[in-house]
Amino acid sequence: MATFDFKSFHVRAMNAADEAEKAKINQELKDLYDSLDEQNKTEFNQQLEKFLVKEYAAIRSVIDGVKGADSAN
């Protein structure tokens, strides 16, 4: 079972200098996916989904915290 480091792609994209650099990073991720066999593509998709849900939950927590702080003032 392969393990994919989505966080590194995410951090690189967040710190990209411009949209062209973000597009290049996104293409690297697409190329990685295209290079995989079907079993690893399935694993890639499962790990990506887990990563995205985790990141979304973290963002949601921050948003909810800010909203809570705003309503307390």
Q: pLDDT tens, 27-67?
A: 999 999 999 999 999 999 999 999 999 999 989 988 988 88
Q: How many residues does the structure list for the chain?
A: 73
DSSP H helical ranges for 2-37 = 6-14, 19-34
Determine the pLDDT at residue 62.
87
- Does this model's pTM top 0.85? My answer is no
Tell me, what's the pLDDT at 73? 57
Task: Give pLDDT, residue 72.
Answer: 64
Which amino acid, residue 30?
K
Cα gap 20→70, rounded to integer Å: 36
pLDDT of residue 9: 96
pLDDT for 14 beyond 70: yes
